[in-house]
A = this chain, B = another copy of it.
Amino acid sequence: MAETSPDNSGEQLVIKAGGGKALDLEAIAADVGSLWRAGRRVVLVHGGAETTNEVAEQLGHPPQFVTSESGYSSRRTDRRTLEIFEMVYCGLLNKRWVELLQRQGVAAVGLSGLDGRLFEGRRKDKLRIRRGGRRMVLRDDWTGTVEKVNGELLRLLLGGGYLPVLTPPGASFDGEAVNVDGDRAAAALATALGAPTLVYLSATPGLLADFPDEDSLIPRFEVARDALSGAAPDAGLEPLSAAAEDRMKKKVLGAAEALRGGAGRIIFADGRAERPVRAALDGAGTHVVVRPGPREEAR
Shortest Cβ gap from A172 to chain B (Å): 9
A220 CB-CB contact with B under 8 Å: no
The residue on B at minimum CB distance from A175 is B102
Measured in the bound complex, the distance between the Cα atoms of B91 and A197 in whole Å is: 30
Residues from chain B with a CB closer than 8 A to the CB of A95 are 86, 90, 112, 114, 169, 177
Please name all residues of chain B whose beta carbon is closer than 8 Å to the beta carbon of A102 when the two chains form the complex.
114, 117, 171, 175-176
Asked whether A175 and B103 contact (CB < 8 A) given A110-B112, A160-B156, the answer is yes
Q: Which residues of B contact A293 (CB under 8 A)?
A: none
A95 to B103 Cα, complex, angstroms: 25
Q: Specify which of B103, B162, B176 is in contact with A99 (CB 8 Å cutoff).
A: B176
Interface contacts beyond A91-B94, A103-B175: sample of 20 additional A-B pairs, CB < 8 Å, sorted by A? A58-B60, A86-B92, A86-B95, A90-B90, A95-B114, A99-B171, A99-B176, A102-B171, A102-B175, A103-B174, A103-B176, A107-B117, A108-B115, A109-B115, A109-B153, A110-B114, A111-B111, A116-B162, A153-B160, A156-B156
